[in-house]
Structure 1
Amino acid sequence: MRCLVTGATGYIGGRLAPRLVAEGHEVRCLSRSAARLRDVPWASGVEVVEGDLSDPATLPAAFEGVEVAYFLMHSLGRPDFERLDREAARNFAAAAERAGVHRIIYLGGPEPPASGTRSPHLRSRAEVAKILLDSAVPTAVLRAPVIIGSGSASFEMLRYLTERLPWMITPRWVRNRIQPIAVRDVLRYLIGCADLPGSINRGFDVGGPDVLTYQEMMQRYARVAGLPRRRIVPLRPLTPWLSAHWVGLVTPVPNAIARPLVGSLIHEAVAHENDIAQLVPGETLGFDDAVGRALGRVRDADVETRWSTASGLDPAAEPLPTDPAWSGGTLHVDSRTRRVHAPAAALWQVIESIGGDNGWHSIPLAWSIRGWADRLAGGVGLRRGRRDRHRLQVGEALDWWRVEEIQPGSLLRLRAEMRVPGRAWLEMRAIPDGPDHSVYLQRAVFLPRGLAGQAYWAAVLPFHGLIFGAMLRNMARAATALPRDSDGRVRPASPRSPAASER
């Protein structure tokens, strides 16, 4: 089946397109600029056509031969987003009719109350739904409330508010009921709707199994994230307008996006029917499981996430290059590089032999003090050392680190197991730069947990230049000083000693 995806640079579209490809569909993506999809990991599996839904003349090529067309774009964040989305929907419907498209699928928002709404966001979503349903093409409208997944604007608001505010004064809408849904289930419904009978032209409420207030969502997020219970006091004077500015102050979500989203929370968002479950069967994730996947955790297994791949557990939660910079939570990075007068093989030999009795090529006293402090806090400290003096394996302990990934000759990534309010990684890379030179890339990455994590990073940041700066310099010097054979090649590390094997 040939599918057209609009909004492929957005949160849902960017996750839907590769899943449609995996299901065996031919996928065409409509974008104002093909360059915006150049770096997504699935770019080679789709056809990209440039066009603009505000310009009908650019649409025929995109719709030619299409059987199912997904309307996933929206102009939220623009001052005139209602007008822009209205025009886009009309042009989309007209182009689909002319091309003989068999079905339109639209992901909208909760249906506004029968008495009307003051929320421009909900009003616009309902208007777009009506335009598409009134077209000559059978249309399925999915009315989704808060979508739980890293990168979703609604989820990012929930994430930042809960993590950054142990105590908060909130508007009354935090007591409104919401039926959140995992992004994985939204994608499953979107894909399943492609096979609906042509006689179906209607909207469907979609939601997960849990009905919660926003306040309960924050408390349960805190529990899944390992944060203390939040102290929340709802107050009447906080209007949606004030609430939006409050959200903009506390979170990095732009005010232009936060304002309409907060305005839509004045209404409850609970499914009034569940007909979609009969047409697209499957088990939906509960709120806690959805949050756990969005945070890259598995609740019933001792699995930690790699910051480099975000989850490795649920592909729907993985970040994409097209996701906004404010999505994915706070990630602090200390990144340093240095050109080394030694081949990459020499630099790698130094990288792989780090830690234990070999030391950390930094300030020994500072490293020891940090190890003692960790021991006093109940952590592992530096006492574990390393199994072998020269070789490392994925999964083994290395002082207070765990070896998470090795790409022999180029990459070593360590995950911290010390007591810190968050998760931390140390990454070291050896990058070839000619026969006699290389580049050493060193990154310390910290994913804070709550306000304590933010405070911890702020407290240690002044010492990073001293400790990690010294480490950068000394690693480069050690690689340069390694002995070489007469032909200039680095001598290999000595084989594992019996003592090292027994340790």
Structure 2
Amino acid sequence: MTELSAPTGREPALRAPSRPDGSAPRALVLGGTGYIGGRLVPRLLSAGYRVRVLARTPERLGAFSWGGEVEVEAGSADDADAVARATADVDVLYYLIHSMGGGTDFEAKDLRAAQTVAAAAAAASVGRIVYLGGLHPSGGDLSPHLRSRVEVGETLLDCGVPTLVLQAGVVIGSGSASFEMIRHLTDVLPYMPAPRWVRNRIQPIAVRDVMHYLLAAARVDEDVNRAVDIGGPDVLRYGQMMNGYAVEAGLRQRAIAALPVLTPGLASHWVNLVTPVPRAIARPLIASLQNECVMDDHRVDDLLPRPEGGLTPYRQAVRLALGRVEADAVETSWQDADLSSVPSDPLPSDPDWAGRTVFTDVQTARTSAAPERLWQVIVGIGGENGWYSSPFLWAVRGWMDRLVGGVGLQRGRRSRATLAPGDALDFWRVEAVEQGRLLRLRAEMKVPGSAWLELRATPEASGSRYDQRAVFFPRGLAGRLYWLAVLPFHGFIFRGMANRITAAAEAAGRPPKAAAS
């Protein structure tokens, strides 16, 4: 087996081997804008590869931080001319595309794309193909989704180019369709009527470990041409995975009842009804779960080194997917790494429905007051100055919080004029201050979730703009019901707050009236 460079962290930097002429090898990624591909490309670049991406819509690459660092070939995997151009002078080809069951002929489309790529790779003398397939039992009936992935893998293995097929089951990471289904079902349902497949055994794998295996796969011996299973250290039933998620998300474990009457079609309708996962994606996932997905062999250990520190246990993978990540972790979440921060934008490779549920209320108001005046009002909020909207309702909320053991509004504030990170402010805690620009507060009242309030002052030509954002991460069904219960009050509380803060800034900027003579 080819010796790999020494790992330098939890996700080892497997350096690209130089070509005989000393130049860096070229990697072609099919599916570079997808969930796995979008995370693999920057790691290939970091490892020293020159990366080329075949993209049906090249403009999408502009949304990625690495978009300007890769070669781009426009086209799709079933376009023979585009694939021929893309495979020229390529050392390793990553095949990370597959259909999720859209339409009745998705198997034929997948096979046609695989045949096109296989022929082009052989003609171009590509050094190696790496395909991420699906973990499945040997023998027996497979779902159309798994059957198609097996067929694609066999097509690539038979093309004459050395191919390594990595067969993975449920990938755990925010944005992974399989994980998102677990997340949303567990978050929403305190009681889960489920098909019999909740009793099936599954061997999930963390997305960070998938990245490790994909990088290492480019370094195996030239004569390796086979499919191998990859999986994490835990074998769990699907119901156990849901309850493992519940524990890590701070929820009560769910009561799960296996019902024999829920067919894959009915179950996919049910998933689509109670979660944002589209039915077109839920159906093939559910159909695949009818098969137990456990590693049949561990030949991968003879070919590829395990990650330093070992494979990631399921519960730890869930913690990482929820945003409790370490400095060297794979980007698995479309929120900032620290849960104490406000959510940032999604990763471009994640689907729109991925990530934890986030509710927001956004208000904007413009004022003729200078940004310095507006900032003085913002930084003076709370305590004796109040919250500039519906004092009675704010007081009621404080009393309610005290009744359930919270801090209420009695803490006030330490200084009437200044705020610093860590300061208590009524039932908020100051999380961040960017002088003159931003005040971010984290709620410390008792709520079924996590909440923030963000206030900004931005200079404009004729004054300044005030931006206000309330953010709420609900915890389970109770959190969602809480948001719906308070939603009717947000219209006048938060809108009134924005209007009165800007009015106060304007009033503070007016010169005092002259005294009567």
TM norm. shorter chain > 0.5:
yes
Cα deviation, 1:127-150, whole Å, max 9, x if unaligned, reads 111111111211111111111111
267-276 vs 35-44, which deviates more?
35-44
180-189 vs 90-99, which deviates more?
90-99
2:152 to 128, 135, 140: 128
Q: How is 1:90-105 mapped onto 2 (pairs within 5 angstroms)?
A: 90-105=115-130
2:474 to 445, 448, 456: 448
185-194 vs 120-129, which deviates more?
185-194
1:361 to 388, 394, 402: 388
Q: How is 1:244-393 mapped onto 2 (pairs within 5 angstroms)?
A: 244-278=268-302, 279-282=304-307, 283-297=310-324, 309-312=335-338, 319-393=346-420
The whole-number CA distance in structure 2 between the counterparts of 1:195 and 1:102 is 11
The whole-number CA distance in structure 2 between the counterparts of 1:83 and 1:123 is 11
Amino acid at match of 2:459: P
TM-score (norm 1): 0.89
Cα deviation, 1:140-169, whole Å, max 9, x if unaligned, reads 111111111111111111111111111122
What are structure 1's unaligned runs of at least 5 residues? 300-306, 487-503
2:499 to 470, 473, 482: 473
How far residue 484 of structure 1 moved from its aligned partner, in angstroms, is: 7.4
The whole-number CA distance in structure 2 between the counterparts of 1:408 and 1:81 is 55
**CA distance 1:298–1:92, change in 2 (3 Å):** closer
**CA distance 1:410–1:29, change in 2 (3 Å):** farther
2:487 to 439, 442, 461: 461
Amino acid at match of 1:423: S
Does 2:140 match 1:115? yes
TM-score (norm 2): 0.87
How far residue 89 of structure 1 moved from its aligned partner, in angstroms, is: 1.2
How far residue 219 of structure 1 moved from its aligned partner, in angstroms, is: 1.3
Give the corresponding residue for 1:433.
Answer: 460
2:259 to 216, 232, 235: 235
The whole-number CA distance in structure 1 between the counterparts of 2:61 and 2:264 is 35
Q: How is 1:181-220 mapped onto 2 (pairs within 5 angstroms)?
A: 181-220=205-244
**CA distance 1:31–1:485, change in 2 (3 Å):** farther
Amino acid at match of 2:493: I
The whole-number CA distance in structure 2 between the counterparts of 1:318 and 1:289 is 24
How far residue 250 of structure 1 moved from its aligned partner, in angstroms, is: 1.6
The whole-number CA distance in structure 1 between the counterparts of 2:311 and 2:424 is 37
Q: How is 1:153-192 mapped onto 2 (pairs within 5 angstroms)?
A: 153-192=177-216
**CA distance 1:131–1:372, change in 2 (3 Å):** same
Cα deviation, 1:317-358, whole Å, max 9, x if unaligned, reads 994133222111321111111122123333233223322333
Asked whether the equivalents of residues 311 and 318 of structure 1 are also in contact (C-alpha less than 8 Å), the reply is no
1:222 to 246, 266, 275: 246
Asked whether the equivalents of residues 101 and 137 of structure 1 are also in contact (C-alpha less than 8 Å), the reply is yes
**CA distance 1:250–1:90, change in 2 (3 Å):** same
Aligned length in residues:
475
Cα deviation, 1:150-196, whole Å, max 9, x if unaligned, reads 11111111111111111122111100000111111111111111211
Asked whether the equivalents of residues 205 and 274 of structure 1 are also in contact (C-alpha less than 8 Å), the reply is yes
Percentage of identical aligned residues? 55
**CA distance 1:4–1:385, change in 2 (3 Å):** farther
State the secondary structure of the residue aligned to 2:451. strand
The whole-number CA distance in structure 1 between the counterparts of 2:324 and 2:164 is 33
Give the corresponding residue for 2:433.
Answer: 406
The whole-number CA distance in structure 1 between the counterparts of 2:510 and 2:119 is 71
229-238 vs 339-348, which deviates more?
339-348
Does 2:122 match 1:88? no
The whole-number CA distance in structure 1 between the counterparts of 2:199 and 2:378 is 53
Asked whether the equivalents of residues 385 and 398 of structure 1 are also in contact (C-alpha less than 8 Å), the reply is yes
The whole-number CA distance in structure 2 between the counterparts of 1:275 and 1:410 is 56
The whole-number CA distance in structure 2 between the counterparts of 1:67 and 1:356 is 65
Asked whether the equivalents of residues 136 and 292 of structure 2 are also in contact (C-alpha less than 8 Å), the reply is no
The whole-number CA distance in structure 2 between the counterparts of 1:333 and 1:16 is 31
Amino acid at match of 2:64: V
**CA distance 1:386–1:5, change in 2 (3 Å):** farther
Structure 1 residue ranges (4+ consecutive) displaced by more than 6 angstroms after TM superposition: none
Amino acid at match of 2:374: L
The whole-number CA distance in structure 1 between the counterparts of 2:138 and 2:345 is 34
396-405 vs 198-207, which deviates more?
396-405
Give the corresponding residue for 2:6.
Answer: none
Amino acid at match of 1:91: T
Asked whether the equivalents of residues 323 and 335 of structure 2 are also in contact (C-alpha less than 8 Å), the reply is no
Asked whether the equivalents of residues 18 and 45 of structure 1 are also in contact (C-alpha less than 8 Å), the reply is no
The whole-number CA distance in structure 1 between the counterparts of 2:80 and 2:320 is 40
**CA distance 1:43–1:344, change in 2 (3 Å):** farther
The whole-number CA distance in structure 1 between the counterparts of 2:239 and 2:403 is 36
The whole-number CA distance in structure 1 between the counterparts of 2:71 and 2:508 is 51
State the secondary structure of the residue aligned to 1:38. helix
Cα RMSD (Å) of the superposition? 2.3
Asked whether the equivalents of residues 151 and 319 of structure 1 are also in contact (C-alpha less than 8 Å), the reply is no
54-63 vs 468-477, which deviates more?
54-63
The whole-number CA distance in structure 1 between the counterparts of 2:284 and 2:273 is 15
How far residue 298 of structure 1 moved from its aligned partner, in angstroms, is: 6.4
Does 2:57 match 1:45? no
How far residue 312 of structure 1 moved from its aligned partner, in angstroms, is: 4.3
Asked whether the equivalents of residues 129 and 163 of structure 2 are also in contact (C-alpha less than 8 Å), the reply is yes
State the secondary structure of the residue aligned to 1:380. coil
469-478 vs 380-389, which deviates more?
380-389
The whole-number CA distance in structure 2 between the counterparts of 1:379 and 1:335 is 26
State the secondary structure of the residue aligned to 2:469. strand
The whole-number CA distance in structure 2 between the counterparts of 1:393 and 1:81 is 57
Give the corresponding residue for 1:499.
Answer: none
How far residue 485 of structure 1 moved from its aligned partner, in angstroms, is: 9.3
What are structure 2's unaligned runs of at least 5 residues? 1-24, 327-332, 513-517
**CA distance 1:465–1:116, change in 2 (3 Å):** same
The whole-number CA distance in structure 2 between the counterparts of 1:170 and 1:238 is 7
How far residue 112 of structure 1 moved from its aligned partner, in angstroms, is: 4.3
